[in-house]
Each structure stands twice: as structure tokens, then as C-alpha cells.
Amino acid sequence: MKFKTLSVIAVVVSPLFAIAPASANDQIAQSLCSYVAANDKNSIRKTLSDNRIRIKNVYDGIQCDGLPLIRFAISKNSADVAEFIVKQLPGSQVAASGDVEWAQSNGFAASPVLEAIKARSAS
């Protein structure tokens, strides 16, 4: 009888533990999006450092308003943050992203971020 009760408790309680990290990750992603929109490079650095996260490890999993971080930064005119993110990503990933083409076709051809993207893509 005790074993059956413990099994039921384990089944009911275990999903609760799985939810906590996901909500923490969602909170970090939301914070990063708000810092990108505000062009707040220092807060992004602090959030990444405090949570022991490297942007290159989470970049593909974070979208803000349906856009990858760099495109979101370009759309919000957050050049400092976009250049910081570009420098943190591998050159091959930046080159394969299509961000330059996206920016040019969406009216952001004059963005100063494009030069940083092109320079990083070449390395």
C-alpha cells in the first residue's frame, strides 16, 4: 500500500520539477529580448554571465517577436547589441544566417550592423 502511494506521489510531483527550469529559461529569453530592444549590452552581458550562458549555445533557441536575436536587434535599431551578438557567434553561423539579405529586403540596408555581419562572416 505504501509503495502504491509513493508511486502516485512521484508521478504527480515529478512534472512539477520539469516545469521550473523551462519557466526560468523563458524568463531569461524574455529578459534578453527586452535588453535587445533597449540596446542594453551591459544587461545582456550580466544576464548571460549570471546564468553561465554563452550566446552561441542558446542563439538558435531564442526568438523575439518571431525573429532571431540579430534580426530583432536590427529591426529595433539596437546596433550595439547586434554587434555584440555577432561577435559572440561563430563566423560560419553568422555567414549562414542570411541576416544581410533579410535586412536588405526588409528596409534595413543602411543598418550599421550589416558591416559587422559581413566582417564576421569573412572570418
Q: How does pLDDT run across 12-67, given as a tens digit for each residue?
A: 444 444 434 445 688 999 999 999 999 999 999 999 999 999 999 999 999 999 99
Q: How many CB atoms lie within 10 A of CB 67?
A: 19
Are 33 and 62 in contact by the 8 Å Cβ rule? The answer is: yes
Of the candidates 27, 97, 10, the one whose C-alpha atom is nearest the C-alpha of residue 56 is 97
Number of domains in the chain: 1
Q: How does pLDDT run across 107-118, given as a tens digit for each residue?
A: 999 999 999 999
Q: How far is CA 59 from the centre of its chain?
A: 4
Domain that holds residue 9: 2-122
The phi and psi torsions of 66 (rounded to 5 degrees) equal 80, 10
Percent of the chain at pLDDT exceeding 70 = 80
Q: How does pLDDT run across 60-107, given as a tens digit for each residue?
A: 999 999 999 999 999 999 999 999 999 999 999 999 999 999 999 999
